């Protein structure tokens, strides 16, 4: 019985260590983030100003007030359940201002992202990013495994 209890406790500790390692991948910035690359870029939260361009599949959902997004370029718009909108074959730009409870994700190539506001940005793939901190600007490369950035307005 003691061996089983020890084994269960050991598994719980290993699981907790794994969760801590994943949680440590959240980077904090202030107010803005810019990124260029290929893979997946996702923005969640209050968007003061969002500009995203590229080629691929774009998803958009506004969980708060109905805010009008400006979408230009090519792609087939598909209205999905629960307020989601999907643009298949997206090749263009997506702009949004002053929107709360928003999620925008683009999976594809030649992604250009400029986000200002409060929330999270998740990047996975290959590319570069820069974001603001109290000490200045930080730059880096996208992670093939994904990386979360917590952005907070000043």
- The predicted-structure confidence for 110-153, as pLDDT tens digits, reads as follows 999 999 999 999 999 999 999 988 888 999 999 999 999 988 87
95 within a domain of the structure (yes/no): yes
CA dihedral 140, 124, 106, 132 (to 10 degrees): -30
d(CA 46, CA 116): 9
Between 78 and 26, where is the model more confident? 78
- Contact call for residues 139 and 32 (beta carbons, < 8 A): no
Q: Containing domain of residue 55, as a range?
A: 26-152
In a domain, 7, yes or no: no
**Residue at 3 is within a domain:** no
Domain count, the chain: 1
**The pLDDT of residue 54:** 98
Residue 89 binned pLDDT confidence (cut-offs 50, 70, 90):
very high
> Does some domain include residue 135?
yes
**Which of helix, strand or coil describes residue 135?**
coil
pLDDT at residue 100, as a whole number: 84
Closest to 86 (Cα-Cα) out of 63, 69, 105: 105
78 within a domain of the structure (yes/no):
yes
In a domain, 57, yes or no: yes
Is there a domain that residue 66 lies in?
A: yes
pLDDT at 104: 96
How many CA atoms lie within 13 Å of 3's alpha carbon, on the beta-carbon side? 0
Q: For 7-66, what is each residue's pLDDT tens digit? A: 333 333 333 333 323 333 566 656 889 999 999 999 999 989 999 999 999 999 988 776
Is 131 part of any domain? yes
Given this model, what pLDDT does residue 26 score? Answer: 64
């Amino acid at each position: 019985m003691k061996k089983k209890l020890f084994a269960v406790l050991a598994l719980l500790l290993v699981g907790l260590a794994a969760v801590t390692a994943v949680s440590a991948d959240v980077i904090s910035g202030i107010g803005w983030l810019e990124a260029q690359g290929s893979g997946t870029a996702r923005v969640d939260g209050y968007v003061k100003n969002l500009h995203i361009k590229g080629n691929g599949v774009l998803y958009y959902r506004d969980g708060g007030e109905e805010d009008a997004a400006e979408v230009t370029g090519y792609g087939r718009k598909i209205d999905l359940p629960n307020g989601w909108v999907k643009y298949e074959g997206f090749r263009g730009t997506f702009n949004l201002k002053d929107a709360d409870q928003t999620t925008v994700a683009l999976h594809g190539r030649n992604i250009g992202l400029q986000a200002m506001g409060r929330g999270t940005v998740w990047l996975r793939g290959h590319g570069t990013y820069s974001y603001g901190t109290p000490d200045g600007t930080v730059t880096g490369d996208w992670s093939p495994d994904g990386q979360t950035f917590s952005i907070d307005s000043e």
